[in-house]
Amino acid sequence: MSKAFCPPDTLTPTDIRNVADVRRACWTGGFTGLAVGLPVGYFAHKSLFHVGKAMGVAVKDMRGGVEGLFDEPIKGWRDFAKRSIRAAAPMSKNHRFMFVFAGGAFLSYIGASTAGKNNRWKMEEVYERGKITTQDQLGLYQQLAEEKAEARARNNAR
């Protein structure tokens, strides 16, 4: 069973609800970003063809095949843009799928992380209630060190 259904005793029902709300917001933000990112990636790839035509890249060069594309020196930003458009292969369906999925993944990440950061304030009480102070941690380490020393002494006494 998921740990979400067995929260620790230190959490109040309000805290449990806040944690669930933040989790839900992150998932919703991620899927919203995915829904926006897929068409954005498609149209970004589709626009490469029109930008390439406007820059004077031949349509036959937009089908892929980047052999010797960057062998000679680049003469400026316009030359670099033309070569990059040729390398992105706006007429290739494989590159189109890559653009679509990359756009979806990137905007899904952006949506989920933005939703998490926007709802972080709901988690402050949960963080404060569950944190271990430095003094508690130091005492725990000292206790573990003492137990290990006792165990070594018992093993050496045998």
> Can you list the residues of the chain whose pLDDT is less than 70?
1-4, 59-70, 89-90, 130
The burial of 89, by beta-carbon neighbours within 10 Å (0-12 exposed, 13-18 middle, 19 or more buried), is given as buried
CA distance 63 to 43: 17
Indicate the pTM of the whole model.
0.67
CA distance 45 to 94: 11
Give pLDDT, residue 1.
52
Hey, where are the domains in the chain? 12-118, 131-158
Give pLDDT, residue 46.
86
Q: Residue 16: CB partners within 8 Å, gap ≥ 6?
A: 7
Helix, strand, coil percent content, the chain, rounded in steps of 5 = 80, 0, 20
